[in-house]
Every structure is written in C-alpha cells, then in structure tokens.
Amino acid sequence: MRLPRIGLGCMSLSHAYGVPPSPEDGLAVLRDALDAGVRMLDTATLYGGGRNEELVGRALAAVGPARRDEIVLASKGGMAPVDGVKTIDGRPQTLRAQVDASLQRLGVDHIDLYYLHRWDRRVPIGESVGALAEAVAAGKIGAIGLSEVSVARLHEAQEVAPIAAVQNEYSLWSRNPELGMLEATRETGVTLVAFSPVARGFLADGVGDPDRFAPKDIRRNMPRFQPEHWPANAALLPPWRALAAEAGCTPAQLALAWVLSRGDHVVAIPGTTDAGHVRENLAAADLVVDPAILQRAGELIDTPTVSGPRYNAASSAEVDAETFDEAA
C-alpha cells in the first residue's frame, strides 16, 4: 500500500491536547484539510471514545463518494475506553466488534488501513492479526497495520498476514525506530508511519510554557515537558529556530523534512487543530533542504541531547516498541 508522504493525524480534534475544538470547528478543519490536498486521515476507536471517527465520517460524507476514493482512511482498534478507562484488548472477538463499530461511526463500507492500536500482551499477536485478516477477506478493511510494536512483533505478525504499515512515534527527539524498525520496515516493504513527527508541538515551537497546558492535556504526564526536564529541552529551541530560518522554512517544516528524509518508505501524520498549520505541514513534502542542514538538525536534537524519556512508566508499559533503555 502506497501512502501519501504527509497525512493528517486527527486525534487532537477530539481529545489529548487540551480542549478540543467544537465538532463544527473540527469539521471545518477537516474539510479545509481535504480541500488543501490532504489525502490520508488517521483516526482510531480510542480517540474521543468514538467521536473522532464520527467527525471524520461527517467530513467524508461532506466531500462525497467520488472524493472518498482519493483518500486513504486509516483507523485503529484494540484500545478503547471501557467504562471510562482506556483498555487494551486484542482478543479476536473484540477486534471484530470494533471493526464493525468503526465502519458504522465512519459511515463507510470499508476502511483502507486498520491498525492494531496496541499489542495486548495477554493475546498472541497472531490471533489479533488473524482477526484483522478475516476483516480483509470480508472486504471490511483493505490492509492491516500495527502501532507501537517491536521488530519481533512485526515479524510474528507477518507470519500470519501481510502487514502494510507500522505506526510508531518517530521524530528528531524520539528515535526509537532507529533501534531496528526503520530498517525492518524498509527491508520488508512496509510503510513506516511516523506519528508525533513534530514532537507533540515541541519542534513546531508551539509549546510555550508547559505549566499552561490544559488540565487534561496528555503532555502533563510526559516527562520531557515536566519541570525536571523541560528547561534543558527548552534550551534547544533557540538554535532550532535559527536552523529552520537558515533552511528557509518553519520549525515544523524542518522537523517533517527530516522525518521524510529517513527513507522513501517513511510517511508522517502530524496532527493539528489549525487549518493554516495543515497547509504549512503539507508544504513540507515538497521542500528541498540542504542535506548538511538535515544532518545538523539530527545532531542538535537527538537522544543524547533530549532530556527525559518519551513516556512515563505507566504509558511505557503499554507499548512494545524498542526503547533506548533496552539498547543500553
């Protein structure tokens, strides 16, 4: 499956980063994004407890069936709120039900790419992937993806069914795919979908003061934004701004250009609630940045220069992707 180099991560339109826009404003962002040329929308069962899929479905209905065929629609299952608690559940019966519910909320007869959102350690990944393979055979989904998995889990899944994409966090300040996944996806013809490619707003120079995050902003629980780590990370921003200016682009565009430079099989799905930022991000796909500047970007912001792990202990326990602690 060939995916657009830059898509739109839709999560922030329904939850995660402070107070989301109203459904009407979120729909306007999506319609503007599609008009601007976005051709991949990424959502999930988890996002807003299904509200995000409903919002994306409204946007697709608004553009009509002819344009629907131009858009890669991606969603995810295997992680959802249950009685208000985020729950990882990769049992086949759960995934079957969640695929059907996603189709209904999105208002479509098929989803182009459907991910196992998290590997459920209680369930062999082959069983979860097998259920998704059934959905492919039934025409409900077009291809199978995995999210936040390790190379070992990717290979286990590939023994059961073809895997089209792996969606793991990847940016200048989260280099975990370089511990094997970047090469494994390249070698096996799998697309690596980089989520949070602008480091949850940090590389877009859009964070400001983390103390001013909304109470439910998920970054409040992320170590890199907390007082013991934030000052060291904030000190990277002035030289980062200067480097983007030297490249003749915005900080967010430089971050995206760096991610895309990691391989032809790498795509990015930055999220935003601002239509102007959507256009800014899309333009990064056509940027030509001096390789020397990209190299300097990679040296300025890298695992040794970034303070703090990407997740706290509870969130780290939910993911299977390689970590630098394991590599040490």
Question: What positions carry a catalytic annotation?
Answer: 47
Q: Give the pair of three-digit tokens for residue 113.
A: 């790419």
Strand order in the sheet with 8-9: 8-9, 40-42, 72-77, 111-116, 141-147, 165-169, 191-195, 266-268
Phi, psi of 87 (to 5 degrees): -130, 125
SS3 (DSSP) at 47: helix
Q: Is the dihedral of CA 279, 284, 288, 294 positive or negative?
A: positive
Cβ burial 6-19 (10 Å sphere, 16+ → b, else e): bbbbbbbbbbbbbe
CA 222 to chain centre: 16
Q: Is the dihedral of CA 311, 303, 115, 280 positive or negative?
A: positive
